[in-house]
Structures are given as structure tokens and as C-alpha cells.
Amino acid sequence: MPALSERYLLMAQNGYQGGQYVTGDSTDVTGGWFAIQAIEETTINGGTDCNISNISGLAIPAGATIYGSFEVIKCSGKAVLYND
């Protein structure tokens, strides 16, 4: 049986902390996020604050997920943002 910390890490990686559905109106979404899952093709716009260099303009295909440490997300398209 896995240790409690391993179980918690697995749950956190699968959205246990919750998330937010965004519909890409290019407004700033602030908070602590660890992943962006695209429901339809989603483009990361300028103004996004994260630990990934040169992310502006990145198109995430529908169904794909990117991981990082995001404080401000500005995107167009439909996506689910997962809380830290």
C-alpha cells in the first residue's frame, strides 16, 4: 500500500485540488495553477506569468495538457486550469 504522501501526490496530479474552466476570452486568470488541459485548441497569449520561457503563442492541441507553475494565465480557446 502506498504511503499517504504518494497517494496525495497521485490525487493532486489528477486534479484533486480542483480547477477552473475557462473559455478563452483573453482575460487574466490569476491563482496558482500546475496544468492547463485544452478542451479545444487553446493558445497561450502574452501576459501569461509562469516558469516556462517564451510560452506566448504556444498552441495546445485539443486533449493535450501542459504542466508548469502558472501565476497568471491568458489564453484563447477552451481549457481547464488545475489548481496547485
For residue 72, what are the β-bridge partners?
30, 49
Q: What is the pLDDT, as a whole number, of residue 13?
A: 60
Contact 78/24 with Cβ under 8 angstroms?
Answer: yes
Q: What is the pLDDT, as a whole number, of residue 24?
A: 73
Q: Which residue has the cell 487574466?
A: 28
What are the structural domain ranges in the chain? 18-83
Q: What is the pLDDT, as a whole number, of residue 51?
A: 96
Strands 79-83 and 29-38: antiparallel
Q: What is the pLDDT, as a whole number, of residue 5?
A: 72
Contact 41/61 with Cβ under 8 angstroms?
Answer: yes
Beta strands in 1-84 (DSSP E): 19-22, 29-38, 42-44, 49-50, 59-60, 65-73, 75-76, 79-83
Per-residue pLDDT of the chain (84 residues), as tens digits, is: 555 677 656 666 665 667 888 887 666 888 899 999 999 999 999 999 999 999 999 999 999 999 999 999 999 999 999 988
